[in-house]
Amino acid sequence: MPLYKGLIDRYRDRLPLADNIRIISLTEGDTPLIPLVNIPRTLGTDVSIYLKFEGLNPTGSFKDRGMTVAVTQAVAEGSQAIVCASTGNTSASAAAYAARAGIRAFVLIPEGKIALGKLAQAMMVGAVVIQIKGNFDDGMRLVREVAETAPLAIVNSINPYRLQGQKTAAFEIVDSLGRAPDYHCLPVGNAGNISAYWTGYSEYAGVDTAACVFHRQDCAYQRDAVTNRRPKMLGYQASGAAPFLRGGPVADPETVATAIRIGNPQSWDLAWAASRESGGWFAEFDDAEILATQKLLAEREGIFCEPASAISVAGAIRDIKNGRIEPGCCVVCTITGHGLKDPDTAIKQSATPVIEARAMLADVQKAILDHLD
């Protein structure tokens, strides 16, 4: 096997980048597809559930896929600085790729509503972190406005190169499974990722979609179909931040899953197109259900994800139980971010307390015997 060099290198012929440009990469992508083994057994279902574990990207979230392409293109266009609004993961990723490229990153984050790991990442690599007294949607508006007055490349997913990078996750899934799944479950915040996956699945099936903005120009998507099917796209939102369930923007989004605390998704039309064209649906979960699923995944499967990511598994479980996802199907859930991103939320809900012990055998023995059953 040749050395893996990142997703631009692997999928270059399906990405709208010019030849001979400097690629800004941290060797992102190529993430594992992990089958669930214990949860399906408990459910008594023969549905196969796979997790696309995007928490194993270089900065711990799926954002790196879009960022390698967006920052590569920004540098190719001569940008000296990038800017984004973020609930945390985009800022961590943008900051890292800017450091790699040797350019400046400005990140706007909502005050007090960003998981600690994400803040540490952006600060550590030297991004200029601007905490605004407002939420993500305020930040997004300000980014659009400030980019008109200063020479900054926006690297939020309104930058179409972001979705182009993120669509490669769908390619990897089809390449690994040898087929497209029947259902694909995703958390939905700003709605870029669900749009990107649908673009990727559609391109691999040789079908045009609204988000195929680049390939429409040269029709490459029509030439190279590698599968004849596409999954139904299932988008899950937190009840306190569920514009796709309410039918329009939500003014004051609130959820423990801060990554998806977004009331005015920028890829509204693309996400609806993905849902409608695929025959999928949107559904919502409250914070208690999100946290319970995060814990279930950790305790039953050993997989530690951040709260927002657990919602895709919550959705799969509910829709398997209620029969909307039929027996015998193949389901992929994207685990969008690593659990280490948000240690505070994890520690708060941990069932096993830390036991204080003297550095003596008797204390350690007692602690162990108390917990052996």
**Listed residue (274, 221, 159, 155) closest to 14, CA to CA:** 221
226: number of Cβ within 10 Å: 14
Question: Distance between CA 33 and CA 180 in Å, rounded?
Answer: 13
Say whether residue 291 binds ligand AN7 (CB under 6 A): no
How many CA atoms are closer than 13 Å to the CA of 115, on its beta-carbon side? Answer: 33
Residue of the chain from 105, 127, 188, 313 that contacts ligand AN7 (CB under 6 A): 188
**Listed residue (227, 226, 229, 263) closest to 248, CA to CA:** 263
Say whether residue 263 binds ligand AN7 (CB under 6 A): no
Residue of the chain from 170, 309, 310, 319 that contacts ligand AN7 (CB under 6 A): 309
Say whether residue 135 binds ligand AN7 (CB under 6 A): no
Say whether residue 190 binds ligand AN7 (CB under 6 A): yes
DSSP strand pairing (330-335 vs 48-53): parallel
CB of 191 to ligand AN7, least distance (A): 5
| Residue 110 or 181 having the CB closest to ligand AN7 | 110
Stretch touching ligand AN7 by CB under 6 A, among 21-29, 67-75, 82-90, 282-290:
82-90
- By CB under 6 A, the residues from 145 to 174 that bind ligand AN7 are 157
Residue of the chain from 25, 79, 135, 193 that contacts ligand AN7 (CB under 6 A): 193
Residue of the chain from 87, 121, 164, 168 that contacts ligand AN7 (CB under 6 A): 87
CB of 159 to ligand AN7, least distance (A): 12
Stretch touching ligand AN7 by CB under 6 A, among 88-96, 204-212, 281-289, 325-333:
88-96
Question: Distance between CA 147 and CA 84 in Å, rounded?
Answer: 10
**Listed residue (59, 72, 82, 81) closest to 24, CA to CA:** 72
| Residue 40 or 110 having the CB closest to ligand AN7 | 110
Size of the site for ligand AN7 (CB under 6 A): 21
Stretch touching ligand AN7 by CB under 6 A, among 2-10, 177-185, 220-228, 303-311:
303-311
List phi, psi (to 5°) of 53.
Answer: -85, 85
DSSP lists the bridge partners of residue 235 as 186, 282
- By CB under 6 A, the residues from 47 to 76 that bind ligand AN7 are 61
Say whether residue 89 binds ligand AN7 (CB under 6 A): yes
Say whether residue 339 binds ligand AN7 (CB under 6 A): no
Residue of the chain from 90, 275, 278, 293 that contacts ligand AN7 (CB under 6 A): 90
Say whether residue 189 binds ligand AN7 (CB under 6 A): yes
Residues in touch with ligand AN7 (CB under 6 A): 61, 86-90, 157, 187-193, 259-260, 306, 308-309, 336-337
